[in-house]
Amino acid sequence: MTPQEAYENLLKWSREIAIIQNIIELLEWDQRCYMPPAAYLHRAEQIKFLTAEKHQRLRLEQVEEWIEQAEKIFYETDPHSPERANLREWRRWSERARKVPVKLVEEIARITSEAGTIWENAKKHNDWKSFEPYLERIFRLKMQEAEALGYIKEPYDALLDEFEPFFTAEEFDSIVGVLLPELKKLLNTVMESPENIDNSCLYRHFPVPLQEKFGRLVARKLGYNFEAGRLDVTAHPFTISPGPDDVRITTRYNEHDFSLAFFGIVHEVGHALYDQGLEKEHWGTPAGMPVSLGIHESQSRFWENIIARSHAFWKFWYPSLLQHFPILTDVSMETFWKAVNEIKPSLIRIQADELTYAFHIIIRYEIERDVLRGNLKVADLPDCWNEKMENYLGCKPSTFSEGVLQDVHWSAGLIGYFPTYLLGNIYSAQLLAKMEKDLGGSIDELVGSGLFGIILGWLRENIHRKGSCFTPKELILEVTGSAPRPENFLHYLRKRLGAVYGI
Amino acid sequence: MTPQEAYENLLKWSREIAIIQNIIELLEWDQRCYMPPAAYLHRAEQIKFLTAEKHQRLRLEQVEEWIEQAEKIFYETDPHSPERANLREWRRWSERARKVPVKLVEEIARITSEAGTIWENAKKHNDWKSFEPYLERIFRLKMQEAEALGYIKEPYDALLDEFEPFFTAEEFDSIVGVLLPELKKLLNTVMESPENIDNSCLYRHFPVPLQEKFGRLVARKLGYNFEAGRLDVTAHPFTISPGPDDVRITTRYNEHDFSLAFFGIVHEVGHALYDQGLEKEHWGTPAGMPVSLGIHESQSRFWENIIARSHAFWKFWYPSLLQHFPILTDVSMETFWKAVNEIKPSLIRIQADELTYAFHIIIRYEIERDVLRGNLKVADLPDCWNEKMENYLGCKPSTFSEGVLQDVHWSAGLIGYFPTYLLGNIYSAQLLAKMEKDLGGSIDELVGSGLFGIILGWLRENIHRKGSCFTPKELILEVTGSAPRPENFLHYLRKRLGAVYGI
């Protein structure tokens, strides 16, 4: 076998895994959008079958040999060339898949599948006690997984690595260390400002068909390609990609809440623009795949927050908004813009504003990190959660459902996932700073003139087309000239909230 | 390996094949209902991948040994027990899959994939010459397939066997031999009758949302379970089953044509009731699968024609129809009922009525049979087609598109498929005769009182629940006491048309 043949084998292997993954995503899309309710059990069997087919391929023994062979020809090339990046990532895939015993994988799948239903009921009935033993087992099993995967410093790193490759708890701690006191200060300033935002205009009557029409108009203008995508309705919005020319988004509507669907659509469009911007030529290989959840989230948050909550954005869109919703005629653009930027500490993460959202993530991160470090018992989670809420946001849940039971993630075994949300915010502001430098100043003028294509072009060039050729940290360094750091995010928040609150 | 273990292996193998097939069906459903246009190419790759996975399993060498082992324990049981039937069908699956060389399978897939596009363009531009060489190659390849599969009497049998297991051209010839002269006589009588049917009421304005509402109402009442199904819109209606509790139907609407969607829905509901009535316990094995296309078509035609075009059916539904469509208020039920039973020779198969439809099928059957018997050249197909149309129906296509190019089947390599449509009619009438005997007389009273559950119950018991435990011919014999024969169909047509045309 020549190195070239070995690389060809790897390409074929990688693309087959990608095909299976795409099919799984179509099954999931259908399940959440259109599947008849009675089909539930059999759909689980279908997904289980394909997942097993995928893992069987990921664990294929020959892969290691192929990689060693193929490395011989690419050793001298640019370490961020598609080939080198592919070999690096394929090694990671293969090692991660082969290190964790099949029995443990199956046990985690079994427990999290049960825990999903238990959690749903527990949340519905405010019943922490029924979920507690499941969460304990999940943490124990994930700890075993971390041990099997291996780590340099601490178990949490092995889990975080699945979502944000090569990122460590230590690094995230140091970001939080800078961020937390500054965010607290900023929140205090906002809370003490005399500005009284009236957001009632967002809760008037917005007929669903018009919300959809306006949402599609904006999505298209931002660059989302409907020829290679769809917008459907689901209880929990998401972006999913059943193929390289098939990136679908969903949203949910409430006719008495403008923000829910609109910012949801822009958020998913941000994710979808990333997926639609990957290099087709590298489809099915790491070089044509998104690099991490954090980078993915930076794209959704860039469009949702930085762009779509900006003054310039509404300067451009407000006339069209009024045409769609004459009910807003008496609302000034200024009032509307402030309403969509209101800061208000609250109990529920997914309803939080841009500033308080960070606290919600930090709370979750600190809790899961401390459990894995052995400094916190699962039994103490509810109290710990409530204390932190009180301490960081000054409000305390009165039920478990509004507190420790609110998110689906832990029941699904997603431990080490939450940091990627905050990294998304941090990356997005860091990218904004560099984008403005490259484009010669504030992007407000572009946004205000509806020239979103230039902004998208910059993201395509600097992020989307690079796929996984760089690790997330390398990518941020390569593009912005510095490692991930929270300063730009703080600067962005101060500027935005300064304008909104006159502080 | 004990016989019991061998049977367990076969069960697992069979259910895995069924899971793959279900997933393929979901991919096809999505492709035809909701897939973004740009995703077309990649979807073909996904289906190709799963089809290869399925065929690889069908060709598995150990299967033969498992079957031989397993036969030892079931040898003495009822030949129509689920286990015996499974072993019979698994042997057929395995033999059919292993007899045809992989190269030939791939060649047929390649040519028919190309031919699909060529045919579409040929039909659009009335260009027989561009399609002719493809059709020649398809017939040649299918001939090779037939030789590889083997047959007792003639190659056509090997192809027909894929769609209607154990049925032969000779048997179909003998049915056509009885049917053809009688149908000609009946058509002449109808054409000469003084009754002048005015079907203009069917082409008034029927708003699509109300058509859908009425269609769903009827579908539910007939027994279709929407909890385990869906109704969507596609250019070409179909029924598809991505899982045992997931049987989806589609239709198309024309607001100036009542029949198109309505009878389309009832037709697909007929198919879906069969799939929804299969034994869940035997899911993924032949005992829980439909036995043939002919039996499947007997179910759709039973509900579409025998039930939904009957006088009793409209006696029950007409008040509700008028409520949905007040535009029909001036139309008597009698006029409406005659309109949906009008007989009129025409060029296009899928627009044909119950009587002339049979001629369309016989023409296609005779042509493909004669090509395979070496008595007809592909180059002579257009002339042959037109002559037969003239001879059987008294009308002659003026273009290839309305003639030999009208159907998709041949371009897709579906040779030996058309007879199953006519067998569907024949079986359905034979089942009706036995059903009426069992239920103590005409079903008109049940239909007129909306007691569709009793009719469905009979079909469930006699057809659906039997899955593939009997071969199609055995099933008809077992249920009706005689082999498939055209007399009941002729009797049914004479009675129905006698009432409509007063002849």
- pLDDT digits (tens), chain A, 503 positions: 999 999 999 999 999 999 999 999 999 999 999 999 999 999 999 999 999 999 999 999 999 999 999 999 988 889 999 999 999 999 999 999 999 999 999 999 999 999 999 999 999 999 999 999 999 999 999 999 999 999 999 999 999 999 999 999 999 999 999 999 999 999 999 999 999 999 999 999 999 999 999 999 999 999 999 999 999 999 999 999 999 999 999 999 999 999 999 999 999 999 999 999 999 999 999 999 999 999 999 999 999 999 999 999 999 999 999 999 999 999 999 999 999 999 999 999 999 999 999 999 999 999 999 999 999 999 999 999 999 999 999 999 999 999 999 999 999 999 999 999 999 999 999 999 999 999 999 999 999 999 999 999 999 999 999 999 999 999 999 999 999 999 999 999 999 999 999 98
Q: Are residues B213 and B299 in the same domain?
A: yes
State in Å, rounded, how far the first CA of chain B is from the last one.
67
Sequence-ordered alpha helix ranges (H) in A277-353: 293-301, 311-324, 333-339
Statement: residue B75 has pLDDT above 90: no
With CB atoms and an 8 Å threshold, state whether A38 touches B248: no
Instruction: Please name which of B39, B14, B248 lies closest in space to residue A25, comparing C-alpha atoms.
Output: B39
Domain end: A107, A140, A163, which one?
Answer: A163
Residue B162 lies in a domain: no
Residue B77 — pLDDT band, cuts 50, 70, 90? confident
pLDDT of A74 = 87
A-chain CB neighbours of B27 within 8 Å are 23, 26
Strands across the sheet containing B246-251: B229-233, B246-251, B239-243
With CB atoms and an 8 Å threshold, state whether A22 touches B36: no
Residue B454 lies in a domain: yes
CATH of the domain at A251: 1.10.1370.30
Domain end: A163, A182, A213, which one?
Answer: A163
Q: What are phi and psi of B423, to 5 degrees?
A: -60, -35
B235-286 residue pLDDT tens: 999 999 999 999 999 999 999 999 999 999 999 999 999 999 999 999 999 9
A-chain CB neighbours of B39 within 8 Å are 228, 242-243, 245-246
Residue B103 lies in a domain: yes
- Mention every residue, 6+ apart, whose C-beta is less than 8 A from residue A112: A138, A411, A412, A413
pLDDT of A77 = 86
Q: Are residues B116 and B29 in the same domain?
A: yes
**What residues of A are in the B interface, CB distance below 8 Å?**
16, 19-20, 22-23, 26-27, 30, 34-43, 45-46, 49-50, 53, 225-230, 242-246, 248
pLDDT of B74 = 87
Residue A139 lies in a domain: yes
Residue where the block lists tokens 């969460």:
A135
pLDDT of B85 = 96
Alpha-carbon span A18 to A24, nearest angstrom: 10
Task: Give the distance from residue B38's alpha carbon to the nearest chain A alpha carbon, in angstroms.
Answer: 5
Alpha-carbon span B391 to B427, nearest angstrom: 26
Residue B163 lies in a domain: no
Please answer whether residues B223 and B453 qualify as being in contact, where contact means their C-beta atoms are separated by less than 8 angstroms.
Answer: yes
Task: Give the distance from residue B42's alpha carbon to the nearest chain A alpha carbon, in angstroms.
Answer: 6
Lowest mean pLDDT segment, chosen from B77-81, B123-127, B309-313: B77-81
A-chain CB neighbours of B228 within 8 Å are 36-39
Alpha-carbon span A422 to A301, nearest angstrom: 10
**Integer Rg of chain B from CA:** 23
Number of separate domains in chain B:
3
Q: Are residues A36 and A135 in the same domain?
A: yes
ipTM above 0.90, yes or no: yes
Query: 3-state class of A436 per DSSP?
Result: helix
CATH of the domain at A97: 1.20.58
For Cα atoms A85, A90, A93, give the angle at the middle one, nearest 5 degrees: 130
Query: 3-state class of A61 per DSSP?
Result: coil
pLDDT of B18 = 98
Q: Are residues B129 and B11 in the same domain?
A: yes
Q: Are residues B259 and B301 in the same domain?
A: yes
CB atoms near residue B144 (< 10 Å): 16
A-chain CB neighbours of B46 within 8 Å are 19, 22-23, 26, 243
pLDDT of A238 = 97
Find the domain containing B105 and state its range: 3-156
Q: Are residues B313 and B267 in the same domain?
A: yes
What 8-state DSSP symbol labels residue A416?
S
Nearest CA in chain B to A53: B53
pLDDT of B216 = 98
Alpha-carbon span A315 to A326, nearest angstrom: 17
Mapped to the 3 state alphabet, what secondary structure does A145-177 carry? HHHHHCCCCCHHHHHHHHHCCCCCHHHHHHHHH
**β-strands B239-243, B246-251 pairing:** antiparallel
Nearest CA in chain B to A229: B36
B456-477 residue pLDDT tens: 999 999 999 999 999 999 999 9
Q: Are residues A9 and A67 in the same domain?
A: yes
B5-33 residue pLDDT tens: 999 999 999 999 999 999 999 999 999 99
Q: Are residues A95 and A206 in the same domain?
A: no
Instruction: Please name which of A357, A338, A335 lies closest in space to residue A346, comparing C-alpha atoms.
Output: A357
Residue B212 — pLDDT band, cuts 50, 70, 90? very high
Q: At what angle do helices A169-192 and A354-372 cross, to 10 degrees?
A: 140
Alpha-carbon span A301 to B245, nearest angstrom: 39
Query: B interface mutation test: which of A33, A245, A278 has the most B CBs within 10 A?
Result: A245
Alpha-carbon span B149 to B163, nearest angstrom: 14
B-chain CB neighbours of A245 within 8 Å are 36, 38-42
Q: Are residues A242 and A296 in the same domain?
A: yes
pTM exceeding 0.90: yes
Residue B202 lies in a domain: no
Instruction: Please name which of B494, B493, B470, B496 lies closest in space to residue B483, comparing C-alpha atoms.
Output: B470
**What residues of B are in the A interface, CB distance below 8 Å?**
16, 19-20, 22-23, 26-27, 30, 34-43, 45-46, 49-50, 53, 225-230, 232, 242-246, 248
Alpha-carbon span B285 to B82, nearest angstrom: 9
Report residue B425 CA to chain centroid gap. Answer: 10
Catalytic residue, candidates A89, A145, A171, A268: A268
Q: Is A25 a catalytic residue?
A: no
What 8-state DSSP symbol labels residue B414?
-
How buried is residue A349: exposed, middle or buried, by Cβ count under 10 Å (0-12/13-18/19+)?
middle
Residue A453 lies in a domain: yes
Q: Are residues A341 and A449 in the same domain?
A: yes
Nearest CA in chain A to B246: A39
Domain end: A117, A145, A163, which one?
Answer: A163
Instruction: Please name which of B200, B156, B27 lies closest in space to residue A24, comparing C-alpha atoms.
Output: B27
Residue B148 lies in a domain: yes
pLDDT of B410 = 98
How buried is residue A413: exposed, middle or buried, by Cβ count under 10 Å (0-12/13-18/19+)?
buried
Alpha-carbon span B227 to B247, nearest angstrom: 10
Q: Are residues B261 and B222 in the same domain?
A: yes
| Structure tokens that stand for B398 in this block | 């003026």
Alpha-carbon span A117 to A119, nearest angstrom: 5
Q: Are residues A292 and A425 in the same domain?
A: yes
Instruction: Please name which of A224, A186, A217 lies closest in space to residue A303, comparing C-alpha atoms.
Output: A224
Query: B interface mutation test: which of A17, A25, A46 has the most B CBs within 10 A?
Result: A46
Helices and strands, counts by H and E, chain B: 20, 3
pLDDT of A76 = 84
With CB atoms and an 8 Å threshold, state whether B243 touches A19: no
Please answer whether residues B456 and B443 qualify as being in contact, where contact means their C-beta atoms are separated by less than 8 angstroms.
Answer: no
Nearest CB among A23, A45, A225 relative to B46 is that of A23
pLDDT of B420 = 98
- Mention every residue, 6+ apart, whose C-beta is less than 8 A from residue B451: none
Nearest CB among B22, B45, B227 relative to A38 is that of B227
